[in-house]
Amino acid sequence: MTRIGIILGSTRPGRNGEAVARWVHSLASRRDDAEYELIDLAEQALPHLDEPIPPMAGMYSHPHTQAWAERIDRLDGFVFVTPEYNHSVPGALKNAIDFLFAEWGNKAAGFVGYGPVGATRAVEHLRLILAELRVATVRTQVALTFATDFADRTTFRPGEESPALVDLLLDEVVSWSQALEPVRRKASA
């Protein structure tokens, strides 16, 4: 069974992302095409990157890095749920990505962004970051805005068209994750 991690990229207290990520996970959990797990970076206990050897070498020395590597390695694809901070990705998300290298490779990813403009600039940055890690990103993305998907900029209330867009995103992430399975198998041989 294909395994997809839904990664909540914000660790800020009072974040809107927790409601968004739980909503995406609840929609995904209704499907039978993959196993979906919610990964909250606030629960990962990753310090600022502290590995003495660059991640590309795969020689992780700290237990927190080894646990993170095992968790990401067993997944086949990802949905990143992210806000936009200063026209880019949250530092905690970039840090979590930077801890690893090979564990991300030859997998697929999609994006659910939220904020004033749906985190579109953060998603564009994530696409560039993930390309370096050999992650194939799908075209469809969900851009949730404060104007249309939140009451008073804080209470998440997705628009009526949003669930269908999440389903389309998940269709693409799952199919691309499955299509890349032979590539992952060959790379690990």
Note the pLDDT tens digit of each residue in 7-31.
999 999 999 999 999 999 999 999 9
Note the pLDDT tens digit of each residue in 42-79.
999 899 999 999 999 999 999 999 999 999 999 999 99
Among the residues of 30-150, which ranges form H helices? 63-73, 91-98, 120-132, 146-149
Q: Is the per-residue pLDDT at 188 higher than 90?
A: no
Domain count for the chain = 1
The two three-digit tokens of residue 12, written as one number: 């800020």
What's the domain range around 159? Answer: 3-188
Note the pLDDT tens digit of each residue in 129-161.
999 999 999 999 999 999 999 998 889 999 999
- Residues 75, 105 contacting (CB under 8 angstroms): no
pLDDT classification of 87: cutoffs 50, 70, 90: very high
Among the residues of the chain, which ranges form H helices? 17-29, 63-73, 91-98, 120-132, 146-149, 162-179, 181-188
- The pLDDT assigned to 49 comes to 97
CATH number of the domain where residue 61 is located: 3.40.50.360
- The pLDDT assigned to 153 comes to 86
- Residues 87, 121 contacting (CB under 8 angstroms): yes
pLDDT classification of 5: cutoffs 50, 70, 90: very high
Nearest in space to 40 (alpha carbons), one of 3, 84, 2, 71:
71
In angstroms, the CA 25 to CA 28 distance is: 5
Radius of gyration, alpha carbons of the chain: 16
In angstroms, the CA 48 to CA 26 distance is: 30
Q: Starting at the edge strand that comes first in sequence, how are the strands of the sheet with 77-82 ordered?
A: 35-40, 3-8, 77-82, 107-115, 135-145
- The pLDDT assigned to 154 comes to 87
- Tell me which residue has tokens 């490779």: 105
